[in-house]
Amino acid sequence: QVQLVESGGGLVKPGGSLRLSCAASGFTFSDYYMSWIRQAPGKGLEWLSYISSSTVYTNYADSVKGRFTISRDNAKNSVYLQINSLRAEDTAVYYCARGGNYLLSWGQGTLVTVSS
Amino acid sequence: EIVLTQSPGTLSLSPGERATLSCRASQSVSSSYLAWYQQKPGQPPRLLIYGASSRATGIPDRFSGSGSGTDFTLIISRLEPEDFAVYYCQQYGSSPYTFGQGTKLEIK
């Protein structure tokens, strides 16, 4: 079955950086666009970014453009999100998802907390 | 950016009743590129509907989606106890992709 497992979250100070990872299994990873979405505590969903199956195309929400970078390694069945210059408002659960438009399946998420 | 407004914010119904959830877009959603998700506490969202009206794999037929342009609807024909959750719509016809703020479906 499809599995997506995020890791790399944690407590980070404002201005810091993190690299989130998402390990995929149960499907042909290299066939699919992959996306990242976040959800602040008690709030709704915010789409962040997608990357095409071959890494040629990426797209970002304006709120994270220039600070976040999505990448993938098809040999490792993994997608990544590099997040820099973190702010308090970046505190959220970060989900990776299969798909680049509608999101077919989601991981359980990894919590990023930005606080001094 | 397309803003999606969901209504009502909270819907209180009983099992067996019919639920009607609305998602209205600030601009036309191209090609009906609209999806619906269900999220239960402590869980990630689950895709229910894509393309405004196509059910995702494994989704019961009591869930149906309709609409085009700026007005979309999710209907749950007969509520089961496991259907009480938060529902989000998402448009993917125009970047940046956006979600509605959610409708909480609670047991009356």
pLDDT the model gives residue A113: 98
Beta bridge partners of A82: A19, A69
Per residue in A1-17, pLDDT (tens digit) is: 999 999 999 999 999 99
Q: Sort out which chain A residues have CB atoms less than 8 A from B35's CB and list them.
A: 102-103
Per residue in A52-109, pLDDT (tens digit) is: 999 999 999 999 999 999 999 999 999 999 999 999 999 999 999 999 999 999 999 9
Is A29 in a helix, a strand, or coil? helix
Taking residues B42-70, what's their average pLDDT?
97
Distance CA A110, CA A92 (A): 8
What band does B31 get if pLDDT is binned at 50, 70 and 90?
confident
Among all chains, which residue has been given the structure tokens 């404002």? A14
Tell whether B97 lies on the interface with A, counting CB pairs under 8 A: yes
Nearest one of B98, B93, B32 to B65, comparing CA atoms: B32
Tell whether B102 lies on the interface with A, counting CB pairs under 8 A: yes
pLDDT the model gives residue B30: 87
More confident residue, B30 or A88: A88
Backbone phi, psi, residue B70, to 5°: -115, -5
What is the distance in angstroms between the Cα of B21 and the nearest Cα belonging to chain A? Answer: 16
Beta bridge partners of A97: A35, A106
Distance CA B69, CA B27 (A): 8
Beta bridge partners of A71: A80
Per residue in B69-90, pLDDT (tens digit) is: 999 999 999 999 999 999 999 9
Taking residues B96-107, what's their average pLDDT?
97
Backbone phi, psi, residue B83, to 5°: -85, -10
Is A30 in a helix, a strand, or coil? helix
Q: Which residue type is seen at B69?
A: G
- The answer to whether the Cβ–Cβ distance between B47 and A45 falls below 8 Å is no
B60-73: b (≥16 Cβ within 10 Å) or e: eeebbbebeeeebb
